[in-house]
Amino acid sequence: MLQTEHPVLRKFYYPVIPMSELKDGPKPITMFGQPLVVWLDEAGKPAAAVDRCCHRSAKLSKGTIRNGSVVCPYHGWAFNGEGKCTYFPQSKLENPPKVYKIKAYRCEERYGYVWVALEEPLTGIPEFKRFGEPGFRQIHEFYHVVNCSGLRMMENSFDNAHIAFVHHNTFGDNNDPIPAEINLVQNEWGFEMFSEINVTNKLNKEVKAINVESDETVRTTHSRWFMPFIRQTDITYPTGLVNSIVTCVTPIEEGSCMLTQFVFRNDTEEQVPAEKVIAFDRAVVAEDLEVLESTEPNVALDVTQRLETHMYSDKPGIVMREMLLKLLESHGERETLPQLNPPQLYKMEILDPVKEQ
Ligand code: FES
Ligand SMILES: [Fe+2]
């Protein structure tokens, strides 16, 4: 699947920028290869439109804001959140001509981020567990580009088998490579997964303060996948600490995404400063990216094509492939399969982990 090639993937909301980054004017973002300008209107609500003036194609993100409209830096035309030209300084006409307009997109503020859907969304912005729950704080962690595909990033979040290898310097144990069991329950727009994962605490003393008192503990996890590229992993430790991580990957181009991550926690800034929480998760994500950015961005959804091999613990990633393939097919779309070099077809019997159960 080439992530920017499928119109159906544009029918979801994605976070595109933290609200705090819009305070000083319009900003450019790119999603699915489409450059957009994002800004705040008079009421402080976010707006998004194509980052191209209909007059001479200047980038509106280089402009300013006037009465809630984005003002083109070239000749000063201003456009509101519906894309309508609201001000046309070269004419004394009260209303600018109707043809002066740009394409605007559905845009909402949620959880402190701007969410955009390029097409009529099939489902809403995910309702995250812990949001607004008494005793929980929200910490913004990351907003940066990652050079891998959204699906590779997503399946990694549900992959218990990589922890012992990729994370052996932070919370994994490479002497214990057997992945924790999972219980996976599908729903209309994704799945829920439950797992008890034994983890270590190797990074440093500061990190120890974040998670647990001892060197080893167990994470009781309730993870949710929201199609196509959002997950929440709600982790409860034996101490009662809850660390609930939300990871969103918004495709920019093939092979690149904007990673937005934030957490909800039921401790306080005095107990564990936000910067220590961020430092730990930054170390963990850096370990993942070291590997993920080496993977091929075009992921074959159709496992019967025998372009990858699988093992039993890959079930979440296989369910993702199956559900995404169904989504594509139900919208009349077909995936472009990767070409292996040299060409190779893997054996079928190791491709169906369901039979291994
Ligand atoms: S290019 Fe935008 S007003 Fe002329
Ligand atoms: Fe990981």
Render pLDDT for 164-202 as a digit per residue (tens, 0 to 9): 999 988 888 888 889 999 999 999 999 999 999 888 877
Nearest CA to ligand 1 atom 1: 56
Q: Is 331 touching ligand 1 by the criterion CB < 6 Å? A: no
Q: Of all residues in the chain, what percent carry a pLDDT higher than 90?
A: 79
| Cα 13 to ligand 1 centre (Å) | 29
* Chain segment 307-339, per-residue pLDDT in tens: 888 999 999 999 999 999 999 999 999 999 998
The C-alpha torsion from 108 through 113 and 117 to 122, rounded to 10°, is: -80
Pick the CATH number of 7-117 from 3.40.30.10, 3.40.50.1370, 2.102.10.10, 3.40.50.970: 2.102.10.10
Q: How far is the CA of 190 from the centre of ligand 2 (A)?
A: 20
Ligand 1 proximity of 55 Cβ (cutoff 6 Å): yes
What is the distance between the alpha carbons of residues 49 and 67, in angstroms, rounded to a whole number? 16
For 96, phi then psi, to 5°, come to -60, 150
For the CA of 77, the nearest ligand: 1
**Which of the two residues, 351 and 117, has the higher pLDDT score?**
117
Q: Which ligand places an atom closest to the C-alpha of 288?
A: 2
Ligand at minimal distance from the CA of 60 is 1
Q: Tell me, what's the pLDDT at 347?
A: 67
**Dihedral sign computed on CA atoms, order 267, 269, 273, 279:** positive
Percent of the chain with pLDDT over 70: 94
Considering every ligand atom, which ligand is closest to the CA of 231? 2
Helix, strand or coil for residue 88?
A: coil
Give the SS3 label for residue 50: strand
The protein residue whose alpha carbon is closest to atom 4 in ligand 1 is 75
Report the alpha-carbon distance of residue 303 to residue 300 in Å, rounded.
7
Q: Does the beta carbon of 334 sit less than 6 angstroms from any atom of ligand 1?
A: no
Residue extents of the structural domains in the chain: 7-117, 126-357
Cis peptide before 126 (omega within 30 of 0): no
Cα(183)–Cα(129) distance, rounded to whole angstroms?
19
pTM of the prediction?
A: 0.93
Q: What gap in Å lies between CA 296 and CA 26, rounded to an integer?
A: 34
53 lines ligand 1 (CB under 6 A): yes
Mean pLDDT for the stretch of residues 39-57: 97
Q: What angle do CA 326, 222, 300 make, to 5 degrees?
A: 30
Q: Which two tokens stand for residue 122?
A: 């099939």
3-state helix, strand, coil in the chain (%, to 5): 25, 30, 45
Window from 61-75, 213-227, 334-348 with minimum mean pLDDT: 334-348
Is the distance from the beta carbon of residue 144 to the nearest atom of ligand 1 less than 6 Å? Answer: no
Cis geometry, peptide bond prior to residue 228 (ω within 30 degrees of 0): yes
Q: Which long-range contacts (CB under 8 A, 24 or more apart) does 167-170 make?
A: 167/284, 167/287, 167/288, 168/202, 169/202, 169/203, 169/283, 169/287, 170/202, 170/203, 170/207, 170/280, 170/283, 170/284, 170/287
Contact 285/181 with Cβ under 8 angstroms?
no
User: Which of 150, 280, 258 lies closest to 209 in space, CA to CA?
Assistant: 280
pLDDT for residue 214: 66
Q: Which residue is closest in CA terms to ligand 1's atom 3?
A: 75
| Model confidence band, residue 205 (pLDDT cutoffs 50, 70, 90) | very low
Tokens 């990694």 correspond to what residue? 156
- Residues 3, 356: Cα–Cα separation, whole Å: 30
Q: What is the rounded CA–CA span in Å between residue 4 and residue 16?
A: 15
**What letter would DSSP give residue 101?**
B
What residues does the ion ligand 2 have nearby, CB within 5 Å? 288
Q: For residues 136 and 130, what is the distance between their CA atoms, to the nearest angstrom?
A: 7
- At the top level of CATH, the class of 126-357 is alpha beta
Per-residue model confidence (pLDDT) at position 78: 96
Assess whether the C-beta atom of 37 lies below 6 angstroms from ligand 1. no
Worst-scoring range by mean pLDDT, 92-96, 105-109, 229-233?
92-96
Token pair for 228:
């196509």
Based on C-alpha coordinates, what's the Rg of the chain? 22
User: Token match 């980052």: residue?
Assistant: 51
